[in-house]
Chains A and B, each alone.
Chain A
Amino acid sequence: MTWELFAVFLGSSIRLATPLLLAGIGEMVSERAGVLNMSIEGMMLTAAFAAAVGSWATGDPMLGLLIGIIAVQPIALLQAVLSNTLRANQIVSGIGINILVLGATTLAYREIFGARSRAEIPGLAKIKPPLLGDIPVIGSAVFEQVWLLYAGIALIVATALVLRYTSIGIAIQAAGAEPKAVDKSGLSVTRIRYGCVLFAGFMASLSGAFLSIGDIHTFTEGMTRGAGYLAIASVIFGKWRIGGTVFASLLFGAATALQFQLPALGIAVPNALLIMLPYLLALLAVGGLVGRQLAPATLGEPYRR
């Protein structure tokens, strides 16, 4: 493999890892607070759709992104109400939301675009950061990415700092590990968990918008194709830590990138095997490749005072 090809592989790994990264970090925060959102997949699909429609209708991808972000919040709120206030089974309610969103976006897509499928949709701009982007050979292939990725990295760093050094971060972690103690200290477990689910929704909306208006500049029915579940798998693989989740997302991204790279290198591997690879890796990951998993103590359990 030449350096050029390797740089392309690296660049596309990062690009394909971005949606998992953004959604994964949001989901990790929510899981640290004790709420499992199976609905990440549905939130991403909502954003992918709303951002695409918004960008197509207004001609401005920034407005599209904004519309995508706003459209996900009601879904995140629904998940928060179901898993906190109504104390519904978080897995069942999440899957229900995913089914609803799949149907609703498909329906709305047919209504809006009808036969004019694959409409040209203005997408988010790419930027090449100074210095890194100027590295010869690999600079532009690796670092010329949609700006949302760089914004996402900044958000992830901020999230890490908040989780590690602030009282909010400690309260979030305690809400998942020791909700009773949080309650006794006078903070509201429910409020913290609501906030975290909405944050997960926000991150998932960036992720979904990245898929449609960042990456391929179009919307296709059910286009998330399980990426939300991969994001959840990367949280488990990453042992509920920022660094681990980032690493897992990059690994799944690289596995997806192989689909396009191996054929380019003339290596004949069945296409289906390559498409399957991220899911296989995720299965191995959640199946104990990472060792015994230490999930937040009350993950998935609604809190009752």
Chain B
Amino acid sequence: MTTTDQQPSSAAKLTSKFGFAARPALLVPVLAVAFAALVGLALIAAIGVSVPNALAAFIDGTLGSPYAIAASINRSTVFALVGFGFVLANRANLTNVGGEGQIAVGGIAATAVALYGHVDGLPLGLAFILPMLAAIIAGALWGALAAVLKVKSGTNEVISTLLLSFIGVWLLYWCVQSPALLRKPMTSSATLPESLEIPDETKLPLLTGDYSFPLHIGLPLTIILAIVVAVLLSKTVLGLRLRAVGLNPVASNRAGISYTRTVIFALAMAGALGGLAGALMLQGEQYTLKDGFSSGYGFDGLVAGLLSRGSVTGVIAASLLFGFMRSGGINMEMVAAVPTALVVVIQGLIVITLAGATLFIERWERK
């Protein structure tokens, strides 16, 4: 966007009329979510399900029990990590859509180390920390791959991270299909194509130790990382470099900020967060690696990142929304026979509405 029309400030008008600053960056996502939710309700009615019943099932699935709440929050942390990665890379004007693949390679690495790294006897929590580290490294390498392609041959990172996602997901499929890799020993032809369950020591400790409220240490970890990312973006030289490269790579290069190093750092960090998200999913929730492991969470995290318009708080809000929406959607399917695809429709509408509203937000905020 180079120039914009200079029109009288509608934001200022709103401010004077209502006595508060209506921030479009906040208002528009809320409106987009509300609009999409309304369409969702209309669709529920259209497929002939009673809307109150569906809503009751939705609420029951999100807030109905301590278990539902904890499961939703655990899921939200996964979305949030991917979303933080998106925001971080996006600061350097890079669009990382590879969350799904980064989750997959993270899951593979965490499973490999948890099962075959002889870590289960280690003290000080190393038993569950080492698989997470492996996942972080695997994700970072996966992300860095796209960065190297971008720097070396100018490959658009959107297409490369997307293709790497497909490759990562099929790599995982390969790992759980092949007995030489991570598939559990085949005792009969009925042995499922999945890994062994990881040892108890490598599972993420629960905050309460009570399985009816299975909130695990992924939550405090995500909160810490949220603070780290927010500080990194707004208060450090590194954050400034990302922003400079994002705004003008040529000028930044002249000013001594290496384009190559910044791009690799940004995408590797995004990948590392995606890999860690994969570790949380494996060690905190699924415990075995199987086909379909990444569950589309990478795309939910991506959408959370898009919705946030670059803010860490925005990512958290969107991730919580999606985490609870997923739980509610699952329960709606089970109890009220509303397909979970409805939630996907709502997400798609949110993304499209926000993409379409960018022009207005930018015009508005310029005032």
Report which A residues bind B (CB closer than 8 A). 38, 78, 81-82, 86-89, 91-93, 95-104, 106-107, 110-111, 226, 229, 232-233, 236, 270-273, 275-276, 279-280, 282-283, 286-288, 291-293, 304
Contact = CB atoms under 8 A, between A and B. Distances in A.
Contacts of B347: 99, 103
A102 B348 CA distance: 9
6 closest A-B pairs by beta carbon, nearest first, are: A100-B348, A288-B153, A103-B344, A96-B351, A272-B174, A103-B345
A104 B355 contact: no
20 contacts: A38-B158, A86-B356, A87-B1, A92-B95, A96-B352, A99-B303, A100-B348, A103-B341, A107-B47, A111-B339, A229-B162, A233-B159, A272-B170, A272-B174, A275-B170, A279-B170, A283-B163, A286-B160, A287-B155, A288-B153
B351 A95 contact: yes
B359 A86 contact: yes
Given A91-B158, A93-B356, A102-B344, A270 B153 contact: no
Most buried by B among A99, A104, A232, A271: A99
B167 interface: yes
B299 A276 contact: no
Given A92-B351, A270-B177, A272-B177, A106 B359 contact: no
Contacts of B355: 82, 86, 88-89, 92-93, 96
Contacts of A229: 159, 162-163, 166
Given A99-B347, A286-B160, 17 more contacts: A86-B355, A91-B95, A92-B355, A95-B97, A96-B352, A96-B354, A103-B346, A111-B47, A272-B170, A273-B174, A276-B174, A287-B155, A288-B152, A288-B155, A293-B153, A304-B2, A304-B3
Dominant secondary structure of chain A at its interface with chain B: helix
B155 A293 contact: yes
Contacts of A81: 356
A292 B164 CA distance: 20
B166 A226 contact: yes
Interface bracket on B:
35 or more
B332 to A, nearest CB: 12
Nearest to A100: B348
A290 B228 CA distance: 40
A272 B193 CA distance: 13
A287 B351 contact: no
Contacts of B160: 283, 286-287
Contact of A88 (B3, B95, B149, B358): B358
Nearest to B362: A87
B156 A286 contact: yes
A106 B341 contact: yes
B306 interface: yes
B349 interface: yes
B41 to A, nearest CB: 14
A118 to B, nearest CB: 17
A273 B170 CA distance: 8
Contacts of B162: 226, 229
B79 interface: no
Contacts of B2: 304
Given A102-B344, A236-B159, A107 B306 contact: no
Interface string B216-254: 000000000000000000000000000000000000000
Nearest to B356: A86
A280 B162 CA distance: 11
Contacts of A276: 166-167, 170-171, 174
A82 to B, nearest CB: 5
Contact of A89 (B345, B348, B350, B358): B358
A248 to B, nearest CB: 13
Nearest to B350: A96
Most buried by A among B170, B299, B349: B170
A104 B174 CA distance: 30
A280 B171 CA distance: 11
Contacts of B47: 107, 111
A280 B156 contact: no
Nearest to A299: B156
A236 B163 CA distance: 13
Contacts of B153: 287-288, 291-293
B343 interface: yes
B348 A106 contact: no
Nearest to A79: B352
B123 interface: no
B154 A293 contact: yes
Contacts of B28: none
Contacts of B339: 106-107, 110-111
Interface string B4-42: 000000000000000000000000000000000000000
Most buried by B among A78, A236, A279, A288: A279
B155 A88 contact: no
B174 A99 contact: no
